[in-house]
A and B are shown apart, each in its own frame.
Chain A
């Protein structure tokens, strides 16, 4: 039905085209081409605006609920506030300078200031990035990533960081870690950009290095630098509401369709491919994590939802490059690996990565980025050059490219975060709340509120 309706105007168009040669311009063909282009543009834009909203939903309420449920009752609001603050803070920084530093065509390491205050970012598409959608839509889509990435870090220092120190930390972290990394991987001329002239082509479809490694590794640095929570290991620190976490995790899963399938930057078949792998990765990982738990004792709800998130992380860099079968493998392996990182490795080293931002995002992001070098194939994404896919396309060298991308992300995250923490320490007189404030809870000590009160 649709096909016929589409074919008729096209046929008319070509007939009109022949006729147009003898008639006076403007030609109806051009008008028709323009309207077909406008229709495609409208379709792509509809999906991309939807994706923007989905990715914002991942941070609030998705991540806020997921993290909020995992902390103790006295810190639920403060934890949610950290995510929410980033929805506001990252947006303002993005408008002023963030978008430009990320996507202005500058050096291989950081963008220039051509889009300062979003100058020139309007309705016309930016063909290098996304040819069929308004530049504004692309800018908004990327903003949503700049919001959730720092928000992921908050899981590591949950229940003990000063609010003012958090705001300063996140501002500096966006400037010194996120924008450079986003530029290197996705910006025009970025060092690692596989499709826009990078010298080391690193595949990262939706942010394995840019989002998950940077945030996860920075999270580990924060957890070690700031030390354990008061009473860690001796007092019970059970999640106060797995119900909230469950709802949050499910919202993350749904929102991730915008994150990954939206990264196709169009509403075509590549978006579908990424949509499928995203879903398959999450499903297989939820089973993988649950299976590991089941072998040891019981399959828990927290385990299943953590596994799903881990799978989503692992598939993120690969989502638009790999087959559904590869996604199942990557997800399953990811669920098991992240289980070991969170349950075994954390206990072995004894750092207090409170909500496992490193174990899930750092480890999962690293694994996903490396496995992308194995499973990426031209059969899924035609933007990959002949023989330039991953190991299964006969290009084992791609794993090395991926490893370089991973190493740069790790290095930048470690060094950047350490420097920033030092600065925050000096400026804020310590990044941690006092012991008394910590025991009292951050809701009261940082915000003067309580999440749950007895009186109506």
Chain B
């Protein structure tokens, strides 16, 4: 099993969700996060006081999938999340040791 952690532009969330659903990836965890890569931040001004905001709002999607589906899911996710501009985000792939469905104790790939 693999876990994908994709940090994407917030406005791409719906598209990515739909695309993943389209290929049968139903389970996911989504969090609002802040961070930055190479993208520069922006400046906010409050009553003349300037604040440089370099941690930008992003969305993090976590999905766990069977290893054999990795390339397909990566491909779908990348396409859906891409605008071609800086700030599109990144995907990190991890090995998953095990998974447990809390309701009935299912283990491994059948639990995801």
Question: Within 8 Å of chain B (Cβ to Cβ): is A90?
Answer: no
A343–B47 CB distance below 8 A: yes
Q: When the two chains form their complex, are residues A342 and B45 in contact, meaning their CB atoms are under 8 A apart?
A: no
Number of A-B contacts (CB under 8 A): 24
Asked whether, in the complex, the Cβ of B47 is within 8 Å of the Cβ of A356, the reply is yes
Q: Which residue of B lies closest to A242 (CB)?
A: B46
Q: How far is the CB of B44 from chain A (nearest CB, A)?
A: 7
Bin the interface of chain B by size: under 10
What is the number of residues of chain A that contact chain B, defined by CB distance less than 8 Å? 16
With beta carbons under 8 angstroms apart, the residue of A236, A297, A347 that contacts B51 is: A236
Q: How far is the CB of A108 from chain B (nearest CB, A)?
A: 39
In this complex, which of B44, B46, B49, B51 has the most chain A Cβ atoms within 10 angstroms of its Cβ?
Answer: B46
Interface residues of A in 298-340 (CB under 8 A from B): 298, 300, 302-303, 306
What's the Cα separation between A356 and B46 when bound, in Å? 12
Q: Give CA–CA (A239, B51) in the complex, Å.
A: 11
- Chain A residues with CB under 8 Å of B46's CB are 238-239, 300, 302
| Contact residues, B36-67 vs A (CB, 8 A) | 44-49, 51, 53
Within 8 A of B (CB), among A326-380: 342-344, 346-347, 356
Q: Which residues of B contact A343 (CB under 8 A)?
A: 47-48
Cβ B51 vs Cβ A300 within 8 A: no
A343 to B48, CA, bound (A): 5
Residue of B nearest to A346 (CB): B48
Whether B47 and A342, one on each chain, are in contact in the complex, defined by CB atoms closer than 8 angstroms, is yes
Q: How far does the alpha carbon of A180 sit from the alpha carbon of B51 in the complex, in Å?
A: 42
Q: State the CA gap A344–B48 with chains docked (Å).
A: 8
Residues of B within 8 A of A236 (CB): 51, 53
- In the assembled complex, the Cα of A298 lies from the Cα of B48 at a distance in Å of 11
Report whether B45 and A298 are in contact in the complex, using a CB–CB cutoff of 8 Å: yes
Nearest-neighbour CB distance to chain A for B54, whole angstroms, equals 10
- Considering the chains assembled together, what is the distance between the CA atoms of A327 and B47 in angstroms? 24
Task: List chain B residues, Cβ under 8 A from A297.
Answer: 45
Chain B nearest CB: distance from A350 CB in Å? 12
Residues of chain A within 8 A (CB-CB) of B51 are: 236, 238
Q: Mark A221-255, 1 if CB is under 8 A from B, else 0.
A: 00000000000000011110000000000000000
Contact of A347 among B45, B48, B53 (CB under 8 A): B48
- Interface-centre pick from B44, B46, B47, B53 (highest chain A CB count, 10 A): B47
Residue of B nearest to A297 (CB): B45
Q: Measured between alpha carbons, how far is A342 from B46 in the docked complex, in Å?
A: 10
Q: Contacts of B45 on A, CB cut-off 8 Å?
A: 297-298, 300
- The chain B residue sitting closest to A235, CB to CB, is B51
B47-89 with Cβ < 8 A to chain A: 47-49, 51, 53
Give Cα distance in the complex from A239 to B45, angstroms.
11
A238 to B52 CA separation, bound complex (whole angstroms): 10
A238 to B47, CA, bound (A): 10
Closest B residue to A340 by beta carbon equals B48
Please give me the residue from chain A that is nearest to B53 by CB atom: A236
- Residue of chain A at shortest CB distance from B48: A343
Residue of A nearest to B47 (CB): A342
Q: What A residues does B48 contact at CB under 8 A?
A: 342-344, 346-347
Bound state CA distance, A346 and B47, in angstroms? 10
CB distance from B23 to the nearest CB of A (A): 34
For the complex, what is the distance from the CA of A280 to the CA of B49, rounded to whole Å?
28
Q: Which residues of B contact A347 (CB under 8 A)?
A: 48-49
- Chain B residues with CB under 8 A of A298: 45
Least CB distance from A68 to B in Å reads 15
Which B6-57 residues have a C-beta within 8 angstroms of A?
44-49, 51, 53
| B91–chain A nearest beta-carbon distance, Å | 28
Residue of B nearest to A289 (CB): B47
C-alpha gap A239/B49 in the complex (Å): 11
Chain A residues whose C-beta falls within 8 Å of the C-beta of B53 in the assembled complex: 236
A342 to B47, CA, bound (A): 7
A244 to B: closest C-beta gap in Å: 14
**How many Å lie between the Cα of A346 and that of B48 in the bound state?**
10
CB distance from B28 to the nearest CB of A (A): 21
Q: Is the CB of A302 within 8 A of B47?
A: yes
Say how far B13's CB is from chain A's closest CB, in angstroms: 22
B49: chain A residues within 8 A (beta carbon): 237, 347
Give 4 closest A-B pairs by Cβ, nearest first.
A343-B48, A236-B51, A342-B47, A238-B51
Since A343-B47, A343-B48 are in contact, a sample of 5 more A-B pairs with Cβ atoms closer than 8 Å, ordered by chain A residue number, is A236-B51, A239-B46, A297-B45, A300-B45, A342-B48
Q: List 10 A-B contacts (CB under 8 A).
A: A236-B51, A236-B53, A238-B44, A300-B45, A303-B47, A306-B47, A342-B47, A342-B48, A346-B48, A356-B47
